Structure 1
Amino acid sequence: MYAEITQFIKMLDTLSRLLDKAQRHAEENGFEAEVLLNARLAPDMLPLSSQVQMVCGTAMLASSVLTGKSAPVSDNAESTVQDLKALIEKTITYVSSMKESDFLGWEDRIVAPPGWSGAFLGKDYFHQHAVPNFYFHMVTAYAILRHEGVRIGKMDYIGKLPFLI
């Protein structure tokens, strides 16, 4: 389980690098990067800024709920690429502060995420909500940037691989 949580850190780093590419794309094409933050794939979908906020919120909430530790509060008022990168860094710092021992018993712990009307076993919450939700918003952020012409590809999404040689 701890390894799965630390995968969030890798993907958060990837998301930060995607925002760097978005910033460069805007600069090279003569527009403000914040224009991209309002882009969406469909009218009824959340914009890029919200997708990034949801990725971060999901990682923090999952870590918090499964360990019983308080998560940092975010007002989701980020309005610039730098604001979003700061949120990502705050999220990485929080998730990185977790130790494997913090998650002991997570599978069978009854968890009730704040604002939800029900409770779950930790393993059900994590595998059936947290992981799919994290990756849904992560890939949607990637797809928005790709749709907006940012030159990114599959390996930009997958990120650095831990090759042995």
Structure 2
Amino acid sequence: MSRTLGQVPVWLDKAQAYADQRKFDVGVLLTARLAPDQWHFTRQIQALVLGPLRLANLLRGQAPADNFELEPTIAAVRASVGETREKLDKLRSEEFAGAEARVIALPFLPGKGLQANDFVQQFALPNFYFHAVTAYSILRHNGVDVGKPDFLAPLAFRDL
């Protein structure tokens, strides 16, 4: 998740360059959406920022990270992504001792929960990548020159 979050500044750089080249306010891209009933770009990034923090808290037996409203500006998005990555980098594996035994409650389904491993694999990761792909696709749909390498980040190739 931190690796994918690390690509968001690349997307933002390209969005800003595209807006500058075409002479429009980059805020248009930050509030763009793919469908009328879907979250806009900045709200998609907000989900990317909250997802890993909430997951880390839940796996450690803590309350989920508080929700917040991310301001649709390049500076606010950059800062939020950077702060989240710093928090994730400070996490240590020993903090997650016993996580596999936890059942994570689902607030949107009162009385239901998922075993921690199932929560990660069936909900947290797919949800995170859904919002990452959607944010990326909003920019791509609006003409920003982002490609698959911008989504994947540099790969750790090895010689065979």
Which residue matches 1:128? 122
Structure 2 counterpart of 1:10:
3
SS in 2 for 1:101: helix
Determine if contact 2:136/2:151 at 8 Å carries over to the other structure. Answer: yes
Which TM-score applies when normalising by structure 1? 0.87
- Please list every run of 5 or more consecutive structure 2 residues that lacks an aligned counterpart in the other structure: none
- Specify the code of the residue in structure 1 equivalent to 2:52: A
Q: Which amino acid aligns with 1:121?
A: Q
Determine whether 1:55 maps to 2:48.
yes
Q: Does 1:141 align with 2:119?
A: no
Alignment of 1:1-165 (within 5 A): 8-69=1-62, 73-112=66-105, 117=110, 118-164=112-158
CA RMSD between the two structures? 1.8
Call closer, same or farther: CA 1:72–1:65 in 2, change over 3 Å. closer
Structure 1 gap ranges (5+): 1-7
The sequence identity of aligned pairs, in percent, is 35
Distance (Å, rounded) in 2 between the aligned partners of 1:151 and 1:140: 15
When residues 116 and 77 of structure 1 are mapped into structure 2, their CA distance, relative to the original with a 3 A threshold, is farther
More divergent stretch after superposition (147-156 vs 90-99): 90-99
Rounded Cα–Cα distance in structure 1 between residues aligned with 2:128 and 2:114:
18
TM-score under structure 2 length normalisation: 0.90
